[in-house]
Amino acid sequence: MEDRMAMWRLNPEKCEQLNEELSHRDAVINFNYESIETSASPVHEEQINFDNSLLSNSAFQNADKSCISDDEQNTINSSKTASIRPIEKIDLASVLASLKTRHSLSAVCINDICSLLCLLNVPDAPRSWFQVKKALNKSFVSPLDRKIWWICPSCKKATDNAFKCSDPICSWCFAPPASIPTYFYTFNIREQINSILAMTKDIYLSKHTKGTSFLNLPMRDIIDGAHYNKLLDKESGKFLTLTMNTDGIQPYNSTNKSIWPVTFVINEIKRNKRFSFQNLILGGVWPGLTKPKRFEMSAFLETIVVQLKELEQGSHFECRSGANFVRQFLKVFLICACMDKPAQALVQNLPEPTAQFGCGRCEIRGYTVRSSHNSDHFINCFPIEKSLTQPHVRTNDRYDHLLIVKQQNDAEIERITGRQLDRIAKRELKQKIIKNKQSEYGILGPCVLRQLEHFDVGFSFLSDNLHNVYHGVFVSMIMRSIKGTRREELEMIGNLNLFRSACLHLHDSTMNADIKNYIENMFSRSRYSITSKTIVQTLHSSGAIGRICNLFSNPNLHFFTSFKIGCVRFTTVDYSKSKVADDSAVLFRLTDESHFGLITSIFSDEDDDTLLEIWPISNPKTLHIFTNGQNIDIPSVQEGKLENNNNFYYVPVHDIVEKCVYWRRKSNNVIFFRFPNLEESS
């Protein structure tokens, strides 16, 4: 059937190219398999994962192959041991901790499950949630030993003493009936990195080679970026890089209490493992009664920056290499941060994102306009006109200059306010303050991350384009683990630590294989199914389409309205018209090129070879953005037209790269949007 496909395709000028493409399909089919990870359909409550063909970086693949030969025999032996080893208490404790996290169970519910296991005479079953925690804490040394800090009410800096400021210059001492100062927790980042490196095999340390031109390599991961490769040029030794995230969590709607965790991930870990719970680094937790003020956030982050500056000097880590461990000297650098705009404004020490000069990327001022024609409500908008001077981009050099300007302005205002002012002088002072704010371009104070060697206070803050798509996945995950009504931050820390221990137990080569597979499958269902992602399953039979049967000279073709590759669902455009989600828009591969289109038909022959009829967009135009004197092409967004000329492509299902989104107008003009990969949750 596939041999006849090119002959009958309705675009004859590309027949020769398609035949050549089909002859090489088997050579690239494995690459295409990796591109499908999960579904976008809210009907089946499955998450979206797009462009996962980029998930397997070539460097990671080479690293995996080098490890196979080293510990292949050890893996075989450990698998035999795991398959026959009986289930122990630590195995059951890991399962119960995973169930508690996966299904947001309370400790009382876990106690009832433990009672049921004991009633059924399950050997070594823990009798309570307390014994579950005891078993996990006994088997693993906790890397989340916390240190508590307080904010000095006088100097606004962090102190490790609740009753006296540790700064010798500050003379503040606690005196009742004053309230206890605001506090927060920090955690040892180095020990957590060491624990991760000792357990994971999915890490690759990049290095330059003389024969490699990074300009010609595809952009598959952060290690392929220009900033990362500049770092490779500057640093002669091996290093790790981190991405930071922070966000606020409100445990209950009835309280204003706000919990702000600061987390990190190691960028050199494989993308599909990078954001796993066991690879998450917790830098600190802010459990305030309200959202932290800017000086409080600065003091909070200052204690974390001290650790990051020590890591920049380098340290020895025990790294896993096959079945053995290798001691390596590594430097660790924070190179980027990804968070939503309100959190970014706190960290950057800038105004709110909707205020003037609130942009974290540039110094655009913004204008105040009415929200509607007859409204009394005003909002800020941020147009960039070609006739106006383009705003400066926020960089370290520009930040240093503006910080000096702000310090000079503050000193000048302090001198003026140091004496009594009459009415005219007060009016002049007010105008002076407004003028000074314009010259500071939104700088409200120092950004503590500026102290780091390879962090830029402008472009190192990444665009969190997934925040609205995720609807706060990380926040909801943390929220589900909180069941208490007080000291929620300690409960959150304890739950994170227990689940991390359960995940680390999966690396035990002697763990019972059935229990291990059960835990892995429990969490893979909500993300992507590794074991079944290459299986093609056709669904919902439909009536035959005579046009296609005549085209392929086969009256026995079977037609369907939907199919799945693994757990990724695709449908025809007609089937999607009556549904909430439209799963017909795809990006497909043809003659080594990618095209957007809509699935109009799904059919197979007697050999179960499944083909798709795709309606491509004609005359596609890529989105172009002109800013700061540069033309930027965005190939992930294309505009075109759906012509009613029966110009269809017939492609095998494994030439589908990923699922997309499109907007269709009455004139048949369409805009296709290629989603970023949702596996990289911030």
Reduced to 3 states (helix: H, G, I; strand: E, B; else coil), residue 97 is helix
CA distance 100 to 94: 10
Reported as half-sphere exposure (CB side, CA atoms, 13 A), residue 351 has a value of 17
Q: Which residues are CB-contacts of 627 (< 8 A; sequence separation ≥ 6)? A: 384, 390
Q: Which domain holds residue 580?
A: 2-49+529-673
pLDDT of residue 441: 93
Q: Is residue 214 scored above 60 in pLDDT?
A: no
Tens-digit pLDDT profile for residues 230-247 = 899 888 889 999 999 998
Q: Could you tell me if residue 405 is inside a domain?
A: yes
Mean per-residue pLDDT, 1-21: 45
pLDDT band, very low/low/confident/very high, at 474 (cuts 50, 70, 90): low
Residues 432 and 533 in one domain: no
Mean pLDDT to the nearest integer, 642-647 = 84
Question: What is the spatial distance between Cα 615 and Cα 618, in angstroms, rounded to a whole number?
Answer: 9
Please report the pLDDT score of residue 310 as a whole number: 96
568-571 and 558-565 as β-strands: parallel, antiparallel, unpaired?
antiparallel
CATH number of the domain where residue 603 is located: 2.30.30
pLDDT value, residue 13:
47
Which of 46, 38, 41 lies closest to 580 in space, CA to CA?
41
* Higher-scoring residue by pLDDT: 436, 254: 436
The predicted model gives 185-195 an average pLDDT of 92
pLDDT at 29 over 50: no
Max mean pLDDT among 11-15, 211-215, 448-452 falls in: 448-452
Both tokens of 208, joined, read 């330059």
For residue 539, being part of any structural domain is answered with yes
Mean pLDDT confidence for 576-586: 86
Kindly state the DSSP code that residue 472 receives in the 8-state scheme: S
Q: What is the pLDDT of residue 659?
A: 87
The answer to whether residue 44 sits within a structural domain is yes
pLDDT digits (tens, 9 = 90+) for 257-292: 788 999 999 999 988 788 877 788 999 999 888 889
3-state secondary structure 283-328: EEEEEECCCCCHHHHHHHHHHHHHHHHHHHCCEEEEEEECCEEEEE
Amino acid at 588: F
CA dist 31 → 2, 52, 216, 218, 220 (Å): 19, 10, 19, 14, 13
Mean pLDDT computed over 205-229: 67
Give CA angle at 43 (38, 44), nearest 5°.
45
Q: What is the DSSP letter of 203?
A: B
> Is 206 part of any domain?
no
Q: Give the count of domains, the chain.
A: 3
Please give the pLDDT value at position 2: 47
Of 419, 445, 471, the position where a domain reaches its end is 445
pLDDT, tens digit (0-9, with 9 covering 90-100), for 125-162: 999 999 998 988 887 665 678 899 999 999 999 999 88
Determine the pLDDT at residue 221. Answer: 78
pLDDT in tens, 311-332: 999 999 988 877 788 899 999 9
Dump pLDDT digits (tens) for 584-642.
Answer: 999 999 888 889 999 999 999 888 889 999 999 998 999 988 877 788 888 889 999 99
Tens digit of each residue's pLDDT (9 = 90 or more) over 421-451 = 889 999 999 999 999 999 999 999 999 999 9
Any domain includes 513? no
Neighbours of 253 (CB within 10 A): 6
More confident residue, 676 or 28: 676
Domain boundary at 410, 425, 445, which?
445
Please compute the mean of the pLDDT values over residues 470-485 and round it to a whole number: 57
Does residue 427 share a domain with residue 534?
A: no
For residue 662, pLDDT over 80 is answered with yes
- Beta partners for residue 604, in sequence order: 558, 610
Residue whose C-alpha is closest to residue 487's, from 277, 257, 256: 257
Supply the pTM of this predicted model.
Answer: 0.70
Query: Any idea which residue has 């357990």 for tokens?
Result: 199
Q: Is residue 409 part of a domain?
A: yes
Residue 313 belongs to a domain? no
pLDDT at 181 over 80: yes
Residues 476-503 have a mean pLDDT of: 73
Residue 372 and residue 367: Cα distance in Å, rounded? 14
471, pLDDT greater than 50: no
Q: Residue 395 has what pLDDT?
A: 94
For the chain, give the mean pLDDT: 80
Quick check: is 41 in a domain? yes
Are 558 and 664 contained in the same domain? yes
- Please provide the size of the chain in residues: 682
